[in-house]
Amino acid sequence: MAAGEPARRVEELRKLIRRYDYHYYVLDDPLVSDSEYDRLYRELEELEGAHPELVTPDSPTQRVGGEVLEGFGQVTHSQPMLSLDNSYSEDELVEFDRRIARAAGQEGPFDYVTELKLDGLAVNLLYENGTLVQGATRGDGRTGEDVTANLRTLRSLPLRLQDEELDPPLPAILEVRGEVYITRSGLEAANAQRLTDGEPAFANPRNAAAGSIRLLDSSITAGRPLKIVLYQMLAGETALLSGFSRHSEVLSYLRKAGFPVNPLWKACRGIDQVIDFCREWAQRRAQLDYNIDGVVVKLDDLRLRERLGATSKAPRWAMAYKFAAEQARTQLIAIDLQVGRTGALTPTARLEPVFLAGSTVSNATLHNEDEIERKDIRVGDWVWIEKGGDIIPKVVAVDTKARKPDTEPYRMPENCPVCGSKAVRPPGEVVRRCTNASCPAQIKERIWHFTSRGAMDIEGAGPALVEQLVDNGLVHDVADLYSLKKDQLAALERMGNKSAENLLAQIEVSKSRGPARLLFALGVRYVGAIAAQLLAERYGNLIAMQDATKEEIEAIEGIGQVIAASMAAFLAEPRNRQLLERLEEAGVELGCAPAEKVEIPAEGPLAGKRFVLTGILSKFTRSEAERLIKERGGKVSGSVSSKTGGVIFGEQPGSKLDKAKKLGVRTIDEAEFLRMLDQK
Ligand code: I6G
């Protein structure tokens, strides 16, 4: 290419891609095929790769940054992000219209704009000279979080606005507000992925949008199917000075500038037309691929808005009309109990299938036994179910008039429905739990969690196989997975030699997933993927963590009391210590050196010796002691054998000290350990 040619082509490609994005995301009217789009995008990427000096932050290739943030900066909003007053009936809308007439000192009919109220997360965006420079959450209304990096990953959000043929031209500073949301189909796909990854499903679209926008790693946000619509340009500096007199003009202008604006808004003359719009969308909401919880009604006249102003909470010129949650009536066939991996018994309503808010429903949540008692829900009852904002419907009420005389109040069983062991409900807790850690249902759930994607990711070991492994007595706990033999697996249903070999290969690979994934996979109550990562970073090695106290764990930033207590209780349980030892013996990697990797020198006073640590040392944390040993050429191991060079013990030593004495291995107290470290 001639000099200057790459720069010209890069600009040309960006312009084309922006135009195609606009047609695809904003106008919902694609101009080119996916393959043509991909070809241009790749050409741009290649040119920018060859000429890094041409890369600009507003290039379509620059949506995902490389860095992971440590936290979000704070953004003080130029004007508070207010809420909206709510109304729940048509009468309240009529009253709103009368209030406007009183405040305006004039009779209606007024011009209103009605917009659908999406169930998402409100954000504020700042553009300087047409380029996105900042995006923030609502926060407390005055100060939000700077989530620019995450918002940039939303494909429908323009990084650069288009200003050709815009009248009036774009102002130097443009501030707009809108809602980030996730479609129903996007949420379904995201939740299916989360369940295979061993992560809990998002309960509703709002949680999914808010959770995804508040991630510190924008490359994860980029993988979430988030969308955005803009509905407000800040008045005063921009809107009025630019010569707009109506909100409807602002919406059209925003769309022309390249913003995705929900096209389903309507200009209404008088409150009766507003009410018609509300009725129409209360009926039609199930047809949409996103959740709406109502309609926002706004005065169209910007000058009249300015006169009416706002209270400290909400503008006087707008009102949210909230839909009643959609309900359906059906019969409760049974109450099933599911036993989770921590033994929790969760009641689920099995229903006569019924159509509700876009899908057929045959299960609903009953939360817990207190809820069942409070609502007096009985098997055989006719019940009202509701979807609300959540995906899983809930039973909201019983149609007691339709109750048959032979029904009885529901009583939660006092025994586990799977293994028959006592199921107890500790005082102060709402959940009843099966007390038998060897309950087949708990074992299956624990093993399945262990093998799932976000945990040890053992492909092929899904619920059906785990069920067979447990039912055939081949696996009693997760460590047993590592001693499975090919002929045992090949003899199972829907398995053959080839599948057995593949599964064994997957099990082998899983041994090196590392301590964070392993700890998460063990399914310690409250210890999710993030807590597991923090713990693994602190201790480096699960054996090194074994004797950690609750206080020590609680001192880790990001770990609270509940997680610390649960982790310490898990580690104090001899059965769990044995499990870790068995995993280590099977070759599962329980970790590497703590935090900083320590190079083990070939020579040194402790060279060639392997030590085991147990109990609490007063002068060192476990990871410091490990590092000091390694710096002197020694190695640290998690289990004691006749080859162990010494067991260093502190206060409250574990069973490793007894084992050392039994095997005649040298035992070293803290004072001796200090002397040992002093040796040259
Ligand atoms: O929270 C909101 C959702 C939707 C809004 C809103 C909206 O318009 C469609 N509009 C305003 C003016 C405000 N909140 C304050």
Q: What is the pLDDT of residues 15-37, one digit of tens each?
A: 999 999 999 998 888 999 999 99
What value does the mean pLDDT take over residues 571-592?
A: 88
Distance 18 CA to ligand 1 centre (A): 27
Q: Check pocket membership of 339 for ligand 1, CB cut-off 6 A.
A: no
Ligand 1 pocket test: which of 179, 259, 291 has the largest number of ligand atoms within 8 Å of its C-beta? 179
| pLDDT for 618 | 77
Cα-to-centroid distance, 314 and ligand 1 (Å): 10
Atom of ligand 1 nearest to the CA of 115: 9
Please give the torsion angle defined by the CA atoms of residues 356, 389, 183 and 451, in that order, rounded to the nearest 10 degrees: -100
- Give the pLDDT score at 594: 45
Q: Please state, in angstroms and as integers, the Cα–Cα distance from residue 177 to each residue in 230, 243, 244, 322, following that order.
A: 6, 19, 17, 20
CATH architecture of the domain formed by 86-322 = 2-Layer Sandwich (3.30)
Residues 210-215, mean pLDDT to the nearest whole number: 90
* Range(s) within the chain of domains with CATH label 1.10.287.610: 5-63
CA 311 to chain centre: 35
Task: Indicate whether 67 pLDDT > 50.
Answer: yes
Under 8 Å between Cβ of 535 and 556:
yes
Residue 219 corresponds to which tokens in the numbers above? 């490359």
Q: State both tokens at 472.
A: 């055939």
- Confidence band, pLDDT 50/70/90 cuts, at residue 600: low
**Model confidence pLDDT, tens digit, residues 476-523:** 999 999 999 999 999 999 898 999 999 999 999 999 888 989 999 999
Beta strands in 357-498 (DSSP E): 359-365, 382-386, 394-398, 423-424, 433-434
Report, as an integer, the average pLDDT of 618-627: 74
Distance 188 CA to ligand 1 centre (A): 26
Q: How high is the pLDDT of residue 593?
A: 46
C-beta 122 within 6 A of ligand 1: yes
The size of the chain, in residues, is: 680
Which pLDDT does position 591 carry in this prediction?
81
Q: What value does the mean pLDDT take over residues 536-561?
A: 84
Q: Is residue 82 over pLDDT 90? A: yes
pLDDT of residue 238: 55
Is residue 193 very low, low, confident or very high in pLDDT (cuts 50, 70, 90)? confident
- 450 C-beta closer than 6 A to ligand 1: no
The more confidently predicted of residues 660 and 279 is 279
Indicate if ligand 1 lies below 6 Å from the C-beta of 231. Answer: yes
pLDDT at residue 254 in the model: 95
pLDDT value at 595 more than 50 = no
pLDDT at position 215: 86
For tokens 């289990």, name the residue: 639
Question: What is the mean predicted confidence (pLDDT) over 342-348?
Answer: 93
Mean pLDDT score of the chain: 89
Average pLDDT rounded to a whole number, residues 455-480 = 92
CA 117 to centroid of ligand 1, rounded, Å: 8
Q: What is the pLDDT of residue 599?
A: 55
Q: Sorting pLDDT into bands at 50, 70 and 90, what band is 546? A: confident
Q: Which carries the bigger pLDDT value, residue 637 or residue 435?
A: 435
Residues in CB range of 530: below 8 A, 6 or more apart? 558
Among 298, 265, 322, 290, smallest CA distance to 82 is for 298
Fold of 5-63: Helix Hairpins (1.10.287)
Question: Catalytic positions, please?
Answer: 117
Query: According to the CATH classification, is domain 515-585 in 3.10.20.30?
Result: no
Higher pLDDT, 637 or 486: 486
pLDDT of 542 strictly over 60: yes
Cα 122 to middle of ligand 1, angstroms: 8
Average pLDDT over residues 310-324: 93
Q: Which amino acid is at 244?
A: F
CB 453 within 8 A of CB 461: no
Which of 115-129, 231-245, 356-370, 418-432 comes out lowest in average pLDDT?
231-245
Domain(s) labelled CATH 3.30.470.30 in the chain stretch across: 86-322
Query: For position 680, what pLDDT does the model report?
Result: 58
Examine the pLDDT at 68 and tell me if it is beyond 60. yes
pLDDT in tens, 93-139: 999 999 999 999 999 899 999 999 998 999 999 999 999 999 999 98
Which superfamily does CATH assign the domain made up of 440-510 to?
5' to 3' exonuclease, C-terminal subdomain (1.10.150.20)
Which CATH number applies to 610-677?
3.40.50.10190
Question: What is the CATH superfamily name and number for domain 327-402?
Answer: Nucleic acid-binding proteins (2.40.50.140)
Q: Where do the CATH 2.40.50.140 domains begin and end in the chain?
A: 327-402
With a 6 Å cutoff on the Cβ, whether 84 touches ligand 1 is: yes
Segment holding 87, helix H or strand E: strand 86-87
Which range, 161-175, 469-483, 573-587, 601-615, has the best average confidence (pLDDT)?
Answer: 469-483
The string of pLDDT tens digits covering residues 395-406 is 999 999 999 999
Residue nearest (by alpha carbon) to ligand 1 atom 4: 117
What pLDDT score was predicted for residue 443?
95
Q: 384 is written with which tokens?
A: 């009202």
Give the tokens for residue 679.
């040796």
Does the structure show a pLDDT above 80 at 344? yes
Best mutation site among 85, 177, 261, 305 for ligand 1 pocket (most ligand atoms within 8 Å of CB): 177
pLDDT of 389 > 80? The answer is no
Report helix, strand or coil for 616.
strand
Confidence of residue 598 (pLDDT cuts 50, 70, 90): very low
The rounded Å distance from CA 141 to ligand 1 centre is 13
Span(s) in the chain for CATH 1.10.150.20: 440-510, 515-585
Most confident region among 106-120, 359-373, 634-648 by mean pLDDT: 106-120
Please state, in angstroms and rounded to a whole number, the distance separating the CA atoms of residues 225 and 193: 12
User: Ligand 1 within 6 A of 212 CB?
Assistant: no
What integer pLDDT is reported at residue 601 of this predicted model?
A: 65
Q: Model's pTM, two decimal places? A: 0.65
- In short, whether 253's Cβ falls inside 6 Å of ligand 1 is no
Q: Does residue 299 line the site of ligand 1, with CB under 6 A?
A: no
Mean pLDDT for the stretch of residues 539-554: 85
Residue range(s) of every CATH 3.40.50.10190 domain in the chain: 610-677
pLDDT average, residue stretch 366-388: 92
DSSP string, 133-186: EEEEE-TTSSEEEB-HHHHTT-TTS-SB---TT-SSPPPSEEEEEEEEEE-HHH
Neighbour count for residue 410 (Cβ, 10 Å): 18
The pLDDT tens digits of the residues spanning 253-293 come to: 999 999 999 999 999 999 999 999 999 999 898 889 998 99
